[in-house]
Amino acid sequence: MNGWLLAAGITALGVAAVHLVGGHRDVVRPLLSSGLTDEPKRVLHAVWHMVSVDLTLSGVVLLGLSLTGRTAGTGLVAWFVAAHFLAYAVAFLVVTLSVGWSRPLLRLPQWILLLPVAALAAAGTA
């Protein structure tokens, strides 16, 4: 068993749970009740669900990798998931830092949840 990948998978599933609960309350409900026209509103709603699936599947994959031991593709898949979560974290950092808010790192703190998954998955490839 790979403890790093196990920790990454559990953390990723935790991130997915926070996304599902907190995101529905703080993002989806306000989005759906906004005055935005129907097409962009529904596209953004679908994208939120796509991210929900993506975060959940990534966590399941990391858990699976943690239990299978070293196989030919384990490292490559783990690196892919690590890069994936790193890219999500960077996207949130770039967006939040480009707005000019005071205390920007706490306004969109999603990067704080995403970065540990990237680090744990990367550590699990060693």
pLDDT tens profile 5-28: 999 999 999 999 999 999 899 889
Distance CA 118, CA 81 (A): 7
- What pLDDT does residue 51 have? 96
Judged against a pLDDT cut of 80, whether residue 68 lies above it is answered with yes
Q: Where are the domains of the chain?
A: 3-123
pLDDT band with cut points at 50, 70 and 90 for residue 4: very high
Q: List the structure tokens of 88.
A: 């999500």
Distance CA 9, CA 65 (A): 9
Q: Which pTM was predicted?
A: 0.90
Mean pLDDT for all residues in the chain: 93
The one-letter code for the residue type at 4 is: W
- What pLDDT does residue 29 have? 92
**What is the percent of the chain with per-residue pLDDT over 90, rounded to a whole number?**
79
pLDDT tens profile 30-58: 988 999 999 999 999 999 999 999 999 99
Question: Looking at residues 88-96, what average pLDDT do you find?
Answer: 95
User: Tokens 């953390």 label which residue?
Assistant: 11
